Chains A and B, each alone.
Chain A
Amino acid sequence: MARCFLILENGTIAEGTGFGFEKTIVGEVVFNTGMSGYQESLTDPSYKGQILVMSHPLIGDYGINPRYSESDSVQVAGYVVREACRDPSKMYGGKSLDDYLKEYQVPGISEIDTRSIILDIRSRGVLKGAITFDDDPEKLLDEVCKMPAYSSKNWVGEVSTKEIVRFENKGAKKLALIDCGVKGSILSELKKRFEVIMVPYNVDKSFFRNEEIDGVFLSNGPGDPAHPAIQESTIQTVKAIKEDYPIMGICYGTQLLARAFGGTTYKMKFGHRGSNQPIKHKGKVYITSQNHGYAVDEESLEDTGFVADHINVNDGTVEGITHKELPVFAVQYHPEASAGPHDTMFLFDEFKKKLEESR
């Protein structure tokens, strides 16, 4: 068992046991409160560049299975757990977390008082941090403090598709999916209902002129929606087409939509990451899966034509917006679940209906 350290910008240096791939990494430290679905989180592109702390102490218990990957690799920069299961249940094949992280060259640290780290994040907000297997962690603390802010990097650029990919679905409506780091399960929900054309986040506007499509989907993704690279590309594209198609957004897609219509977004203290977030929509409560560190500013929606019609029951933040006239809506949470509850899966059907109703 390798000695390993978790270093936080607040000066915390926690010793633990390393697992996965032995290397030093830095990243923004965030936490997730889901009790199952660790593999889905590990492979969620929205975690790009982040060190993920799991609040549930036992991780890896049912092993790793290809069917639970949300993308083709592990996306988190580093993984922090109380216990990484050595001998998982064999019901799903029994592959261990340790082997999995080794395979994707991602370091993990276990035997950490994760609750105490989460309490730090809760009081201070997300923290910069590092995982290292070096014997002199103090050395790294300075580097961590000086590390550029998470918002300063164009993370979407790292996870978005480089080329246009088409998924046939005979007879179905044609949907352009602007990929900012789309989760596999969103793609699969869309593929069930539409013919999907997945395009890069910075796809040229001419694509929409040349291609006959029925609707647009804005995916989830990592990083700050206010980043200049996004502002210049995706947001401009959305601005150009926003009145032409039915549009649905999820998570990052919500923030893009709000911004494209003139609203603003902000970085949350420590975000929402987990499978138990209650939201209220049309008088009913739904339990949702979430993973976001940025949110739409409700006041900024005033002149955008949007209403915030999905609201977080816990903290009152905007969890979804619907346009008063246009067939455009987006939710900050993840109706596709994976991991998490399926309570709001119906939104994909509503979107499908919107496409069928328009023209």
Chain B
Amino acid sequence: MKRTDLKKILVIGSGPIVIGQAAEFDFSGTQACRSLREEGYETVLVNSNPATIQTDMDTADVVYIEPLTAETVAKIAEKEHVDGILSGMGGQTALNICSELAENGTLKRLGIQLLGTQPEAIAWSEDRELFREIMLKIGEPIPKSKTVCSIEEAKEAARELGKYPVLIRPAYTLGGTGGGIAYDEEELEMIAGRGLIYSRIHQVLIEESVLGWKEFEYEVMRDANDNCIIICNMENFDAMGIHTGESIVVAPVQTLSDEDHQRLRNATIKIIRALEIEGGCNIQFAFDPETREYRVIEVNPRVSRSSALASKATGYPIARVATKIAVGYTLDEIPNRITGKTYAAFEPSIDYVVIKVPRWPFDKFRTVDRTLGTQMKSTGEVMAIGRTIEEGLLKALRSLEIDKSYIDPGNWSEEELENELKVATDQRLWAIADAVRHGMDADKIAELTKWDVYFVNKIKNIVEMENELKAGLNDDILKRAKKMGFSDEIIANITSSSEEEVRNMRKSKNLIPTYKMVDTCAAEFEAETPYFYSTYETFNEAAPTNHKKVIIVGAGPIRIGQGIEFDYACVHGVMALQEEGVEAIIINNNPETVSTDYDISDRLYFEPLTLEDVLNIVENENADGIILQFGGQTAINLAMPLQNALKGKKTKILGTSPNDVDVAEDRKLFSALMDKLGILQPKSGTGYSFEDVRALATEIGYPVLVRPSYVIGGRAMEIVYNENELRTYMESAVKASKAHPILVDKYLSHAVEIDVDVVSDGKDIFIGGILEHIEEAGVHSGDATMSLPPQTMSAEVIAKIEEIAVKVAKALNIIGLLNLQLAVKNGEVYMIEANPRASRTVPLVSKAIGVPLAKITTKVMLGRSLKELGYVGSADHKNVVVKASVFPFLKLPGVDSILGPEMRSTGEVMGIAPTFDESCYKALVSSGMNLPSSGGVYITVNDNDKPEVLAIAKDLSAMGFEIYATKGTSTYLREHGLQTTTAYTISQNMDPDALGLMRGGKIQLIINTPTESSGARRDGYMMRRLAVELEIPFLTTVQAARATVMAMKRAASGPLDVIDLRTYCGNKN
């Protein structure tokens, strides 16, 4: 029964997107808030990530965008007089905060109850020793292991286990940070040392290796009445040793007999009972295919990325139901919303297979080690639904949006291939397909990859179909290829025809997809919730309605450069359509997101986002319109091809016309337009070969910014200072060709970059926000720290910016969103680029001004005017909002943490406060920076930056920090009257050097602006890597240093207030 003693409940979010913690917690937190509100509870939500639906003022009653620290959460809980805190919806971040609030007595002091996962359960599942005790008590097998607190103990534990390899698992970390596999004692020392540092309680586990065993996951729920149900089980293609987040996963389990499945099911239920978890829980098993023995590997006593996947895979809303359980309901009291006829107390049965494939950021980090292991490196994932494994895999591959949409042939030698099969990287699928092509026996491939031969044979089936296609296309082969999941494009590539020809042939044979419903019950009951996937069979269940309807194309997997911000915009698009009485249809393939919650749109198609897949849905639905502005580059790339394909059809592309989009995206056309409008631009040009590019660079003058055309997140973008660097770039980073030109721009050094977000209805424009970058131009806008409104711009410059926005919006006939990137130097404003779509900053700006930009955009696209909606001119600001970025360097060994024109951050946070310094402090803390209040600062800057760094150093010194500096910097500071300690450079190999000081705990903050000399670069790299690993804040621009130190100064002067978003927005008027 529902608890009536609770009135107000706090939900804790998970903060920014990081590797291991992505959009899934926006999905769970949002479901939780909706679930609580429909029960009549008042909800308070706290999260530092503005690009989330959960931080919308219509998701929760009271929203705080504040740093996710125990201290802040305690302040909010106290201020809001909450009765309970829902612990399990914000990932490890929220669980850790809850543990801390329980441990430090805050909960007791404030009389607040933890709802859902209890502190004991968190401790039981997270503390290795306690977990072990419980498993032993209930007789569930776990890998033999020992918890250790030092490297010596680790070595001793490995000796006791008797053989290498051994696994190292730090306690209380995200996504396995700092874990690893050691094959000998030397590796053990290194990995255990690192793990001890990362663990919140400085504890790691040394564990028996179950490498090569199969890996299974079970999602289970339990209520207060001890009813337990399994929602879904999942099987990893990859064996133990590769993090489940890094493996291809299939649901449901395919290679276990019912007997063995029931053994794991029984164990799962036994464990959730022993841990007394009320709500959802995820349990991972290792299973030895030789002996059929199993081990319990891990328990997550909360909703997780796997549970998000399980929710989308089955249609069972785990977070929603877990929330109901947390407030007292039992499973048999909660209706199943998909069927509307049954209850939450059942186990879903699915009549399709779900394939998940991770999306790695290796295209962004060319130097990174691509080997997959126990540490997560992927930023996101795609899910595909099909009736066979082959179909699911092929759909997932084309959903990934990497440079390959199929397992096409590579050019490995036999030896390389064998190695590629043995050591998993992101290339594994391709290697297996190639091994099949080389005629390698499936059993041999299975042995090398530790895959079950069952999965290898699925790849083999695909390759065999490829061979059949190669031999010649006919109706029968086409039909079977489509049924297996081959796209028109791939069939065209294999048969040397065009996608259009294949599509025409297919349609002439009436080979069109059927859409099947995801209904939790394998068709046993009638379902009410329309959630569909395509397959080529006989009966189509997605009969279109007669309502006016619009399709929104989603953004696909979370990757660097295209994150949760775009999903946010898509969801707002859906809401606006519904507000206008239009049926909203979503197409997307990312299982973590809110947009793929079947509860959000009127119809959800869980499908790849290629032209073919989108067009098929457009045709099935005969929709009135389609919106491409919200799904990032994924959707906007479809503009021209869709426009061509939709000629003469009912469905219209809403908003800015694709032809105008093309003007904005085509450098030449855009440049000509800017000239016509009298808008300044850095000199630029387009080259189709190295010679072209070199000539251009010489003409424009170094430094120049070079990049390939049509990319997102500034992929492969670099600033080059001379011809040598240009040559290296052209040889290593890009392939220039007629089809893939290289863009060359003059790099404006020491300019300030500006982002502008605008909505236009074709007549009027509304400027949502002008954001000033803190770092100087050259740092990608996705990585830059930004302030809204600008802090250093004169009224005159602002007026110029606004004038440019109006001109460009008019000239490009923008209907909807427009994002401008501008640079300001010496009072002049230069155009860098114009993006005629939702930008990454749309959610942040919307939160800052209290105006939902994406919703307004949608309404404008439906034909409403900005005037009638009441938004013309510029939004005003009473508060200052600062955006800070979060970087994945800790998870990616071998990557330099220096910022540049290529985007590297995975997520962002927002600080909001009455002043810039306060807001900046909140943003930096939210981004995970450990801002010190005392200790030492290490400063080494180039000559240009010395005068500016002097003032910063003086402030730091006045705050009581000890200043360490390299010789040049130190001399300069001393000459200007500062006390400093001179440290040696690393290359001098003398004590004290920077690395020694850092390791010795003397340095709490580093200010290092890079210089051009290669020795300093190498020193800088080593220092930056160590800083990343020791989590010492590291500032690489003097502007960031200034802002950070001012923020620290503000924090030192007294505590900061927590204020909810509505109050902030209310202040405005």
Whether chain B is bound by chain A comes out as yes
Which residues of A line the B interface, CB within 8 A?
14, 33-37, 40, 55-58, 61-62, 65, 67-68, 82-83, 85-92, 111, 113-116, 118-119, 122, 274-278, 280, 283-285, 287, 313-314, 337-342
Which among B330, B346, B483, B541 has the highest number of chain A CB atoms within 10 Å? B346
Let me know if B342 and A57 touch, CB within 8 A.
no
Which among B261, B351, B353, B526 has the highest number of chain A CB atoms within 10 Å? B351
Let me know if A62 and B525 touch, CB within 8 A.
no
- In the assembled complex, 19 residue pairs joining A and B whose CB atoms fall closer than 8 Å, in A order, are A55-B351, A55-B524, A57-B388, A62-B256, A83-B387, A83-B388, A89-B452, A89-B454, A90-B454, A91-B452, A115-B522, A115-B539, A118-B351, A275-B349, A278-B343, A284-B226, A285-B225, A285-B227, A341-B347
B residues less than 8 Å from A40 (CB atoms): 258
Cα A65 to Cα B349 with chains together (Å) = 24
From A83, A111, A118, A313, give the contact of B522 (CB < 8 A).
A118
Using a CB-CB cutoff of 8 Å, which residues 201-242 of chain B contact chain A? Answer: 225-227, 229-230
Which residues of B line the A interface, CB within 8 A?
225-227, 229-230, 252-259, 261-262, 265-266, 289, 292, 330-332, 341-343, 345-353, 387-389, 442, 452-454, 457, 460, 483, 514, 516, 521-526, 537-539, 541
Query: Apart from A56-B350, A118-B351, what 7 extra A-B contacts exist at CB < 8 Å?
Result: A83-B387, A119-B523, A278-B345, A283-B225, A285-B345, A338-B259, A339-B258
A residues less than 8 Å from B521 (CB atoms): 33, 276
Let me know if A278 and B349 touch, CB within 8 A.
no
Q: Which residue of A lies closest to B251 (CB)?
A: A35
Q: Which residue of B lies closest to A64 (CB)?
A: B257
Cα A277 to Cα B387 with chains together (Å) = 23
Q: How far is the CB of B345 from chain A (nearest CB, A)?
A: 4
Let me know if B538 and A14 touch, CB within 8 A.
yes
For the complex of A and B, list the 3 residue pairs with the smallest distance between their C-beta atoms, beginning with the closest: A37-B258, A116-B539, A55-B522
Let me know if B252 and A35 touch, CB within 8 A.
yes
Cα A287 to Cα B541 with chains together (Å) = 29
Q: How far is the CB of A111 from chain B (nearest CB, A)?
A: 8
Let me know if B257 and A92 touch, CB within 8 A.
yes
Q: Which residue of A lies closest to B233 (CB)?
A: A35
B residues less than 8 Å from A283 (CB atoms): 225
Cα A89 to Cα B350 with chains together (Å) = 21
Q: Which residue of B lies closest to A123 (CB)?
A: B526
Q: Which residue of A lies closest to B516 (CB)?
A: A115
A35 and B350 in contact, given A284-B227, A285-B227 (Cβ under 8 angstroms): yes
Q: How far is the CB of B605 from chain A (nearest CB, A)?
A: 17
Cα A277 to Cα B342 with chains together (Å) = 11
Cα A58 to Cα B351 with chains together (Å) = 9
A residues less than 8 Å from B522 (CB atoms): 33, 55-56, 115, 118, 274
A90 and B453 in contact, given A35-B252, A62-B255, A113-B538 (Cβ under 8 angstroms): yes
Let me know if A61 and B454 touch, CB within 8 A.
yes
Cα A58 to Cα B387 with chains together (Å) = 8
Cα A342 to Cα B225 with chains together (Å) = 18
If over half of A's interface residues share one DSSP class (helix, strand or loop), that class is named, otherwise mixed; here it is: loop
A residues less than 8 Å from B454 (CB atoms): 61-62, 85, 87-90
B residues less than 8 Å from A276 (CB atoms): 346-349, 521
B residues less than 8 Å from A341 (CB atoms): 262, 265, 347
Cα A86 to Cα B227 with chains together (Å) = 39
Cα A33 to Cα B525 with chains together (Å) = 11
Let me know if B262 and A313 touch, CB within 8 A.
no
Let me know if B524 and A274 touch, CB within 8 A.
yes
Q: How far is the CB of B88 from chain A (nearest CB, A)?
A: 21
Q: How far is the CB of A345 from chain B (nearest CB, A)?
A: 9
From A89, A118, A285, A313, give the contact of B453 (CB < 8 A).
A89
Cα A115 to Cα B483 with chains together (Å) = 15
Let me know if A342 and B266 touch, CB within 8 A.
yes
A285 and B332 in contact, given A56-B522, A314-B525 (Cβ under 8 angstroms): yes
A116 and B537 in contact, given A61-B255, A340-B258 (Cβ under 8 angstroms): yes
Q: Which residue of B lies closest to A337 (CB)?
A: B262
Q: How far is the CB of A95 from chain B (nearest CB, A)?
A: 12
Let me know if B262 and A115 touch, CB within 8 A.
no
A313 and B332 in contact, given A33-B522, A34-B349, A115-B351 (Cβ under 8 angstroms): yes
Let me know if B524 and A313 touch, CB within 8 A.
no
Q: How far is the CB of B342 from chain A (nearest CB, A)?
A: 5
A113 and B537 in contact, given A35-B349, A337-B262 (Cβ under 8 angstroms): yes
A residues less than 8 Å from B262 (CB atoms): 337, 339-342
Cα A277 to Cα B514 with chains together (Å) = 29
A residues less than 8 Å from B230 (CB atoms): 287
From B266, B348, B523, give the contact of A115 (CB < 8 A).
B523
Which among A91, A284, A338 has the highest number of chain B CB atoms within 10 Å? A91
Cα A90 to Cα B454 with chains together (Å) = 8
Let me know if B389 and A36 touch, CB within 8 A.
no
Q: How far is the CB of B660 from chain A (nearest CB, A)?
A: 44
Cα A68 to Cα B259 with chains together (Å) = 8
Cα A82 to Cα B484 with chains together (Å) = 12
Which among A33, A37, A122, A338 has the highest number of chain B CB atoms within 10 Å? A33
A residues less than 8 Å from B349 (CB atoms): 33-35, 55-56, 274-276
B residues less than 8 Å from A58 (CB atoms): 254, 353, 388-389
A residues less than 8 Å from B350 (CB atoms): 35, 56
Q: How far is the CB of B173 from chain A (nearest CB, A)?
A: 33
Q: Which residue of A lies closest to B330 (CB)?
A: A285
Q: How far is the CB of B283 from chain A (nearest CB, A)?
A: 16
B residues less than 8 Å from A119 (CB atoms): 523, 539, 541
From A68, A86, A278, give the contact of B346 (CB < 8 A).
A278
Q: How far is the CB of A123 from chain B (nearest CB, A)?
A: 9
A residues less than 8 Å from B261 (CB atoms): 36
Let me know if A116 and B538 touch, CB within 8 A.
yes
Cα A190 to Cα B966 with chains together (Å) = 82
A314 and B442 in contact, given A113-B537, A340-B262 (Cβ under 8 angstroms): no
Q: Which residue of A lies closest to B331 (CB)?
A: A285
Cα A267 to Cα B759 with chains together (Å) = 63
Cα A14 to Cα B453 with chains together (Å) = 32
Cα A339 to Cα B262 with chains together (Å) = 9
Q: How far is the CB of A332 from chain B (nearest CB, A)?
A: 16
Let me know if B258 and A122 touch, CB within 8 A.
no
Cα A41 to Cα B611 with chains together (Å) = 42
A36 and B258 in contact, given A57-B351, A278-B346, A314-B346 (Cβ under 8 angstroms): yes
Q: Which residue of A lies closest to B386 (CB)?
A: A57
A57 and B353 in contact, given A14-B538, A118-B522, A284-B226 (Cβ under 8 angstroms): yes
Which among B259, B265, B525 has the highest number of chain A CB atoms within 10 Å? B259
Q: Which residue of B lies closest to A185 (CB)?
A: B259
A278 and B332 in contact, given A83-B387, A342-B262 (Cβ under 8 angstroms): yes
Cα A37 to Cα B541 with chains together (Å) = 28
A residues less than 8 Å from B348 (CB atoms): 276
Q: Which residue of A lies closest to B343 (CB)?
A: A313
Q: How far is the CB of A151 from chain B (nearest CB, A)?
A: 22
Cα A34 to Cα B349 with chains together (Å) = 7
A residues less than 8 Å from B389 (CB atoms): 58
Q: How far is the CB of B271 from chain A (nearest CB, A)?
A: 15
Which among B389, B537, B541 has the highest number of chain A CB atoms within 10 Å? B537
A residues less than 8 Å from B342 (CB atoms): 313-314
Q: How far is the CB of B393 from chain A (nearest CB, A)?
A: 13
Q: Which residue of A lies closest to B253 (CB)?
A: A36
Q: How far is the CB of B530 from chain A (nearest CB, A)?
A: 15
Q: How far is the CB of A197 from chain B (nearest CB, A)?
A: 27
Let me know if A67 and B525 touch, CB within 8 A.
no
